[in-house]
Amino acid sequence: MPTARLTVDPGFRIGAVDRRLFGSFVEHMGRSVYTGVFEPDHPAADEDGFRTDVLDLVRELGVTLVRYPGGNFVSNYRWEDGVGPADRRPTRLDLAWRSVESNAFGLNEFMAWAAKAGIEPMMALNLGTRGTSEALDLLEYTNHPGGTALSDLRRSHGVADPHGVRLWCLGNELDGPWQMGHKTAAEYGRLAAETARAMKRFDPGLELVACGSSNAYVDTFASWEATVLEHTYPFVDYVSLHAYYDPTDRDTDSFLASAAEMDRMIDAVVSTADHVGARLRDRKKIKLSFDEWNVWYQSRFGGEDSLDWQPAPRLIEDVYDVTDAVVVGSLLITLLRHADRVGAACQAQLANVIAPIMTEPGGPAWRQTVFHPFAQTARHARGTVLRVEPDSPVIETERYGEVPALWATATHDEESGEIVLFAVNRDRTSPLALTAGLRPFPGARVVEHLVLADDDPGAVNTADRPDRVRPRPVDGTKNDDGTLTAQLPPVSWSMIRLATR
């Protein structure tokens, strides 16, 4: 059996696991909001109209941060439409997704939902069709305690305390021609800089995210980031990255290597940001917010033009299989491997729209395959990410060349003493023997090895068989004299937990 080796050592620290890495995304798109998180007529709805079955799954998923309200939707959104008495809110056309928006769910509903879910909100501003003034209005409404027109308006809407949102996205994907209010890098850079400057005047403690490229394949990738950061560097804390990995062409070896591509993208954005910092002689380091990432069967999407002005249409409700879940697990490994620079990340999206949680209107909610690696990673990746440098057999892929069969990282929670290894075997036919050196942790013992794999890598979860695919415990993984040995099945994601006390 091919063997891969790595060493776990507490001296090789990458960075702290930022809990914001386990973020998600709720956009007014398809059934993400309506019949996803919010369905007042559902038998499991609470007094606010939130689906409690979905809330339970959100808590189990371990989501820490949720970006809202878009996405492409936000670039033509009027936040005022979604506040105040529900029966007086206007119904609008949503040009991004050619849908009808009732505005029954808005800012205060989202904040109430976020509080119940125990997550931090990440608000996105409309810097597409609107500007600094409307962004400042929204900030005053959201975060000012009272005694001004907009903070008192919020209070009159029944929300006495300010929401205290700290993390704000300065628009969404404004490099993309599909975006309402699409801009050149210089146009966007100026607008983002002046909006950020004014927002920090309101509260210097806000954390602001400048839009990076909408994906790594646009012609302007890296030059967009460089120009935008030239304008915004002193005023922003993060630059965003978005990437979706498409399994559709069935070049499965390349698809399984998607995390290598994510890795390269992160390196490229870090270098670009650091280049601008060097040029500006600014010692500050810009962090990365990977605020849209996932597997998306994009080539199955008929495009926005295929939509015809329905409320909450069924839109990109991809059904994920085992291979997709392994890729999601490997993307999370990549995010952890960059814990020194990636400070926030959001899987796109949370419910129904390319999502870990699926629902039927009036019916059940269930976990997709991709739910599981996310939930386990969010739960167990704590403390510090340790640098492991696996020595692994390689796989030749058409899109990305040679990639290691083993993709792995490790975390060490100094508080509990627990060490957790996250490992993917990308090989489609052969199991992989994993040998991990654990000498610096004498007495470490394996408490759990969970694996997500299946004889049928195309297996999926459905409303009828919601638990067809789930992680299963593996026997035989052991640590003898400081050497851990485990077997990783073909196309598998593993989590191996060790206690050191």
Ligand X SMILES: O=[N+]([O-])c1ccc(O[C@@H]2O[C@@H](CO)[C@H](O)[C@H]2O)cc1
Catalytic residues: 173, 292
The residue (of 357 and 381) whose beta carbon lies closer to ligand X is 357
Least Å distance, CB 90 to ligand X, is 22
Tell me: does residue 70 bind ligand X (CB under 6 A).
yes
Question: Is 347 among the residues that bind ligand X (CB under 6 A)?
Answer: no
Piece of the chain touching ligand X by CB under 6 A; list 70-78, 199-207, 385-393, 454-462: 70-78
**Least separation, in Å, of the C-beta of 243 and ligand X?**
9
- Shortest approach of ligand X to residue 174 CB, angstroms? 10
CA 139 vs. chain centroid, Å, equals: 24
Smallest gap from Cβ 27 to ligand X, in A, equals 5
Q: Copy the structure tokens of residue 36.
A: 């996803």
Comparison of 103 and 172: residue with beta carbon closer to ligand X: 172
Residue choice 143, 214, 272, 397 for contact with ligand X (CB under 6 A): 214
In whole angstroms, the minimum distance from the beta carbon of 423 to ligand X comes to 28
The smaller minimum CB distance to ligand X, of residues 27 and 101, is found at 27
- The two tokens of residue 27 are 């956009």
Residue with CB nearest ligand X? 71
Q: Considering beta carbons, is residue 298 or 487 the nearer one to ligand X?
A: 298
Pair 129, 75: CB distance under 8 Å: yes
Closest to 424 in 3D by CA, of 327, 335, 347, 295:
327
Question: Exposed, middle or buried: residue 402 (CB in 10 Å: 0-12, 13-18, 19+)?
Answer: exposed
**Cα(21)–Cα(334) distance, integer angstroms:** 11
SS (H, E, C) 259-273: HHHHHHHHHHHHHHH
Which residue number, 72 or 99, has a Cβ lying nearer to ligand X?
72
Residues whose CB is less than 8 angstroms from the CB of residue 357 and which lie 6 or more positions away in sequence, other chains included? 36, 54, 57, 58, 61, 350, 351, 365, 366, 367, 368, 371
Q: How far apart are CA 200 and CA 130, in angstroms?
A: 19
Rounded CA-CA distance 272/224 in Å is: 10
Q: Please, where are the H alpha helices in 299-428?
A: 322-337, 371-380
Residue 160 Cβ vs ligand X, minimum distance, rounded to whole Å? 33
Does 249 contact ligand X by CB under 6 A?
A: no
Site string for ligand X, 271-300 (x = CB under 6 A): ---------------------x--------
Among 72, 240, 330, 494, binds ligand X (CB under 6 A): 72
- Which of 154, 153, 134 shows the shortest CA–CA distance to 199? 134
For residues 187 and 232, the answer to whether their CB atoms sit within 8 Å is no
71 is a contact residue toward ligand X (CB under 6 A) = yes
| Residue 348 binds to ligand X (criterion: CB under 6 A) | yes
**Cβ partners under 8 Å of residue 222, min gap 6:** 213, 268, 269, 272
Q: Which amino acid is at 369?
A: T
Among the listed residues 349, 377, 392, 479, the single contact to ligand X using CB under 6 A: 349
Stretch that binds ligand X, among 65-73, 99-107, 224-232, 388-396 (CB under 6 A): 65-73
Stretch that binds ligand X, among 172-180, 233-241, 356-364, 430-438 (CB under 6 A): 172-180
User: Hey, which residues does 242 pair with through a beta bridge?
Assistant: 292
Q: Which of 35, 108, 172, 232 binds ligand X (CB under 6 A)?
A: 172
- Segment contacting ligand X (CB under 6 A): 170-178, 192-200, 247-255, 390-398? 170-178
Among 109, 173, 225, 454, binds ligand X (CB under 6 A): 173
- Taking the least distance from each CB to ligand X, the nearer of 180 and 438 is 180
Does 7 bind ligand X (CB under 6 A)? Our answer is: no
**Span 402-441, contacts to ligand X by CB under 6 A:** none
Pairing between β-strand 167-170 and β-strand 445-452 as defined by DSSP bridges: unpaired
Shortest reach from residue 276's CB to ligand X, in Å: 24
For residue 76, state whether it binds ligand X (rule: CB under 6 A). Answer: no
Please report, for residues 86, 88, 112, the alpha-carbon distance to residue 158 in angstroms, rounded to integers and kept in the order given: 12, 15, 12
What is the residue whose two structure tokens read 């003493």? Answer: 417
Binder of ligand X out of 8, 14, 22, 27 (CB under 6 A):
27
By CB under 6 A, which span of 68-76, 229-237, 278-286, 450-458 interacts with ligand X?
68-76
- Residue closer to ligand X, measured from CB, 185 or 348: 348
Classify strands 365-367 and 401-404 as parallel, antiparallel or unpaired.
Answer: unpaired
Instruction: Count residues binding ligand X (CB under 6 A).
Output: 13
Smallest distance from ligand X to CB 350, Å: 11
CB-nearer residue toward ligand X: 53 or 292: 292
Matching residue, tokens 């729209």: 353
Render the burial of 302-332: b for 16+ CB within 10 Å, e for the rest.
Answer: eeeeebeeeebbebbebebbbbbbbbbbbbb
Residue 211 Cβ vs ligand X, minimum distance, rounded to whole Å: 10
Among 44, 81, 140, 215, contact with ligand X (rule: CB under 6 A): 215
CA distance 431 to 394: 13
C-alpha dihedral sign at 107, 292, 173, 239: positive
The closest of 450, 297, 296 to 372, measured between CA atoms, is 450
Asked if 178 touches ligand X (CB under 6 A), the answer is yes
Shortest distance (Å) from residue 172 CB to ligand X: 5
Question: Under the rule (CB under 6 A), what is the footprint of ligand X?
Answer: 27, 29, 70-72, 172-173, 178, 214-215, 292, 348-349
